[in-house]
Amino acid sequence: MVASWDFFDKIYCISLAGRPDRRAEAAAQFARVGLGERVEFVVVEKHPTDCEQGIFESHLLCIARGLAQGAGQMLIFEDDVLFDGFTPTALERCVAFLAARPDWHLFFLGCMVKASRRTPFPGVVQIRYRSLTHAYAIHRRFAERLVACPWQGVPYDDLLRDMKDEHTFAAYPPFAFQSDSPSDNERYLPLDRVRRLLGGLRNLQKLDAFYHRNRRVIIGAHVLALLLLIMLAV
C-alpha cells in the first residue's frame, strides 16, 4: 500500500484556515488508507468576496507548488474527502494503470462524470469529467498547462469540464467521496441541501458511477419494460 502511494511525488490537501475540524477529519481519513505523514496541508484563507475564485486559486496554488518542487505527478485532495470502499488492491490497479499509460493527464479517485468507458485495466475507466475535485491526480505536463490559466470567473470544476480532455481517467468503483460536511461555498448551499434530501453526495456519486458504467443495460431494460407495457395495453 505504501509503495502505491509513493508513486505520487507530492500529495496536498486544501483546507481553510478557519476549519481545523476539517483538517482533523481529513487527517484521520488519510491515516485509514496508509497515507500517514505523506499529505501536506495547504492552509488558505477564505476569499473575501468570491468563494469560487478562492477554490480556483487554492487548486492552482497546490499545482504551482508541486511544479516548483519538481513533482512529476501529484495528488490533490480537499479536506472534506471521505474514503469508502478503499482497498490496497484498488489503489494498486490505479497506479499500475498510471505507470503503464504515461500519456494520462488527470486521474480521479472519485468524481461526477458525463460519460465513461472501460479500459483494458480492471478498476479504471476513461471518463468525460463533469464535477467534483476532492480527490484527483494530475500529471506534470497537464499541470503546466493548467497553472497558466488565469481566473476568468469560471469555477475550477467548470474549467476542467470545458477542457474536454481525452486523457482523463477515474477509479471504478470510486473510493474517494466528498463528505456531507456543510459546504463552505455559499453559492452551492441550495444545491447542498438538495443533495442531502437525495441521500447525500456520497450516494449520488455511487449512483452516478454505476449508471455510467451500466448505462446501456439500464436503458435497454427501461426500453424493454416500456415495450412490454405497450404490448400489454394493446
pLDDT tens sequence across 63-89:
999 999 999 999 999 999 999 999 999
- If DSSP states are collapsed to H, E and C, what string results for the chain? CHHHHCCCCEEEEEEECCCHHHHHHHHHHHHHCCCHHHCEEEEECCCCCCHHHHHHHHHHHHHHHHHHCCCCEEEEEECCEEECCCCHHHHHHHHHHHHHCCCCCEEECCCEEEEEEECCCCCEEEEEEEECCCEEEEEHHHHHHHCCCCCCCCCHHHHHHHHCCCCEEEECCCCEEECCCCCCCHHHHHHHHHHHHCCCHHHHHHHHHHHHHCHHHHHHHHHHHHHHHHHHHC
- If DSSP states are collapsed to H, E and C, what string results for 54-99? HHHHHHHHHHHHHHHCCCCEEEEEECCEEECCCCHHHHHHHHHHHH
- The answer to whether the CB of 26 falls within 8 A of the CB of 79 is yes
What percent of the chain has a predicted confidence (pLDDT) above 70?
78
pLDDT for res 157: 96
pLDDT for res 179: 86
Q: What are phi and psi of 90, to 5 degrees?
A: -60, -45
Domain boundaries, given as residue ranges, for the chain: 2-233
Q: What are phi and psi of 108, to 5 degrees?
A: -100, 130
Residue 2's pLDDT band, with cuts at 50, 70 and 90, is: very low
Residues 169-179 have a mean pLDDT of 94
- Entry pTM: 0.83
pLDDT tens sequence across 187-232:
655 545 555 554 567 677 767 666 666 656 555 655 555 556 666 6
> Which listed CATH number (1.10.287, 3.30.1330, 3.90.550, 3.40.50) goes with 2-233?
3.90.550
pLDDT for res 36: 84
Residue-averaged pLDDT of the chain = 87
More reliable by pLDDT, 207 or 101: 101
pLDDT for res 203: 73
pLDDT for res 181: 64
pLDDT for res 202: 67
